[in-house]
Amino acid sequence: MKYFGILVLSFICNAVNALEHPLVPALEAPVTNVSADTTRKDTVAEAAPVRKNSLSAGINYGSDALFFGRTGPYKYPFMAADAVINYKSGWFVYGSALKVLGYNAATIDEVDVGGGYYYRVSKKIAGNVSYTRFIFNNKSEIIKSASSNDINLKNAVDWGPFKTTLIGDYLFGKSHDIFATVSNSKYWESSWNVFDDQDYLSINPAFTFILGTQNFVQRYSIDHKYRLEANNIYIRNENGAGARANARFTMLNYSIKVPVAYNRPHYTVEFSYKYSMPVNVEGALMNRRESFYNLTFYYIFY
């Protein structure tokens, strides 16, 4: 209940702030949730309203694979590629592929496919609902491999001084988990150009916290016991105290992210720094505070 109180308090505070500042229109374009911190979540269309069909394609390098505030026992840097097709009707479909660097050199570790629908509640509130299927090869070691399916509901309100995003996720398949993610961000654009009148810089710092269950951590430890026993990570009693602790809905992670982007009409290059602070870590994974670095390029075709 105390975490539910945090969610309510956060919403009330933001609502009070909204009464003191004029609201600005929310963004017109769908924002996909292709995965959690391993592939690019947003389309370039988030930066500017788009009311026609578009294709967005991108590549991304990440210093480690992070999934709902949790990492594996080893660091897994990765490269990912993804594509999103947005239809002016509001529907969108997407796919992505991820390769962990330094492991299983000849294979792709993960492929995601999914789709969803973008909707607008009012000029102030917009969101989307989506479904994603995660497909992993048998040798994949990233912690996300303990999951199979995700239903995602995302709503965002632009209050003017900052934007609040509330995301709900339901994982099912290999493990069953629910998550609530709350993020407050502030978007700035430069009033000056870098090379010509067609470009600009942007920064979108955000503070985020994640609440949820972590049965996927239990599933991961069981699926990877052949590697993890040596590190005392494998939990031998699947229905014991560790499993019960993983099933609790609790605070999982706090993070601060600072993305800086160079933007042109059809493409964006972005570097982001994220500092992650995991809490209530179960299953002896011993996640600690960690810095994450991502470099992303994406291009949009109209």
| 160 secondary structure, DSSP code | S
pTM over 0.85: no
Q: What is the pLDDT of residue 13?
A: 44
Among 4-18, 101-115, 163-177, 234-248, name the one with the lowest average pLDDT: 4-18
CA distance 243 to 210: 20
Q: Tell me the fold of 22-301.
A: Porin (2.40.160)
pLDDT in tens, 137-151: 887 778 787 788 999
Q: What is the pLDDT of residue 48?
A: 39
| Structural contact between residues 38 and 54, judged by C-beta atoms closer than 8 angstroms | no
Distance from chain centroid for Cα 23: 26
| Structural contact between residues 220 and 234, judged by C-beta atoms closer than 8 angstroms | no
Query: Phi-psi category of 23—alpha, beta or left, where left has phi over 0 and alpha has psi -120 to 50?
Result: beta
Element (H, E) at 10: helix 2-20
- Report whether pLDDT(71) > 80: yes
Sequence spans of domains, the chain: 22-301
E-state strands within the chain = 54-62, 78-86, 91-100, 110-120, 125-136, 149-158, 163-172, 177-185, 188-189, 200-203, 206-212, 250-263, 267-278, 290-301
| One-letter amino acid for residue 174 of the chain | K
Q: Give the mean model confidence (pLDDT) for residues 115-130.
A: 94
pLDDT in tens, 173-210: 888 999 999 999 999 999 999 999 999 999 999 999 99
Residue 20 has a CB neighbour count (10 Å cut-off) of 9
